[in-house]
Structure 1
Amino acid sequence: MALKTFVKISSVNNLSDARYCSGMQVNLMGFNLEESNKNYTSPEKFKEITAWLSGLEFVGEFELNHPERILTVIKDYPEIQHIQIQEEIHLKMLVNTGLGLIYKNQISTAEDLDELILKAPSFKDHGVKLLLVSADLEIDGEIKSKIKSLAEICQVLLGFGFSADTVEELIKETGVQGIEMEGGEEIKPGLKDFDELAEILEALEVED
């Protein structure tokens, strides 16, 4: 079993998500490592979950922490190979750590994409993956064109605007490296609703 595109799953906080997504051969699996976050994963829980997994790489996800704090935290997570942050100013403090960098950027207008296009050569030069997320932006023709321009310069992961019916075509039209989806809460330990996440992953499965 393999997928047609690069896939990152974020905010994983339970073994059900982790084992399912690992079995679907996603590329990156993200765990929130900030204690104040509702999806926080402790070092003990991280080890418990990842002991069951193979064939993928792990991302430490941060929203607010300063780079010095980030580098202290991940010492307790030696299997982490990538860091995801949301503060652009922190990128330059983390580029020489030997870890992969993902910059999560919340966009709401086409102009936000224009600004990122101007910065894209720097992202490329420093090996930064750009993760685009949005709460309300619709991917129309103009937005597709701008995402395509961005993806021609640096690596882009798309975290919004797709469904099982549209994801494959949208990836082709924009030229993004891949997509990101978020894990969900278990209904009770070992039982959860995979519907939307599973539908999209299944739509991306390579046919035998």
Structure 2
Amino acid sequence: MALKTFVKISNISNLSDARYCAGMMVDVLGFNIDPNSSTHVAEDDFKEITEWVAGVKFAGEFHDSSIEQIKEAIKKYPVDYIEIADLDLVEKVGLLGKPLIFRLSITNEEDLSKIKSTLSYLDELTKLVLFHCDNENLFDQIDAQIGFYNGNLKLMKGYGITADVSLGNFPGLALEATEEDRPGFKDYGQIMDVLELIEED
């Protein structure tokens, strides 16, 4: 069974999540491979996990890396996408030969006011934008702005996700994986609820 919409799962760190999500036919599995992160996935673990799954693309997620660190990391990790959250790096990362996912975090009213101009800038440089927000008071305002968007970017909703999620004008969905209880034992929780909801009949 396929899913009704484009789905990316972030922060994959174990085989249980990878195999379940690949089996549910998600589009992209994201791995934290940022060398500056204390929770990044080791090279050997990445290889072991990705060798067991098929039919899905892999994204290398960076949060606080320089362009030099990103270049070195993707030599070791064979990812299909590079995900970053720093606008200053977009053009440089775009020259590395891999599709770019931009993680756009909305934390306050100022960020909201910049959505239109940021998407306009990214339109020429990437195809995928993941919207992240932890402030529930801003959810409706982000939804409203996306309702007016008519550009070429594939936008992924990565906030306010519940089992009865409504995507509105977002053509994609972004969920975040969690740690295993212990090796081989995993409560998929929200991921299972949402993926089963958007599974094709």
**TM-score > 0.5 by shorter chain:** yes
Identify if the C-alpha distance between structure 1 residues 110 and 148 changes in structure 2 by more than 3 Å, giving closer, same or farther: farther
Could you list the runs of 5+ residues in structure 1 that have no partner in the other structure? none
In the alignment, structure 1 residue 143 sits paired with structure 2 residue 142: yes
Contact 1:5–1:178 (Cα < 8 Å) also in 2: yes
Whole-Å Cα distance in 2 between the matches of residues 51 and 101 of structure 1? Answer: 23
Question: What amino acid sits opposite 2:128 in the alignment?
Answer: K
The match for 2:190 is 196
The match for 2:105 is 106
The match for 1:124 is 123
The match for 1:74 is 74
Could you list the runs of 5+ residues in structure 2 that have no partner in the other structure? none
TM-score norm. by structure 2 comes to: 0.93
Question: What amino acid sits opposite 1:98 in the alignment?
Answer: G
After TM superposition, which residue ranges in structure 1, 4 or more long, deviate above 6 angstroms? none
Identify if the C-alpha distance between structure 1 residues 180 and 13 changes in structure 2 by more than 3 Å, giving closer, same or farther: same
The match for 1:185 is 179
Aligned residues: 199
TM-score norm. by structure 1 comes to: 0.90
The match for 1:30 is 30
Q: How many percent of aligned residue pairs carry the same amino acid?
A: 35
Whole-Å Cα distance in 1 between the matches of residues 68 and 171 of structure 2? Answer: 29
Whole-Å Cα distance in 2 between the matches of residues 126 and 143 of structure 1? Answer: 22
Question: What amino acid sits opposite 2:58 in the alignment?
Answer: F
Whole-Å Cα distance in 1 between the matches of residues 38 and 183 of structure 2? Answer: 16
Contact 2:7–2:173 (Cα < 8 Å) also in 1: yes
Whole-Å Cα distance in 2 between the matches of residues 187 and 112 of structure 1? Answer: 36
Question: What amino acid sits opposite 2:27 in the alignment?
Answer: N
The match for 1:162 is 161
Shift of 1:111: 4.2
Shift of 1:39: 3.3
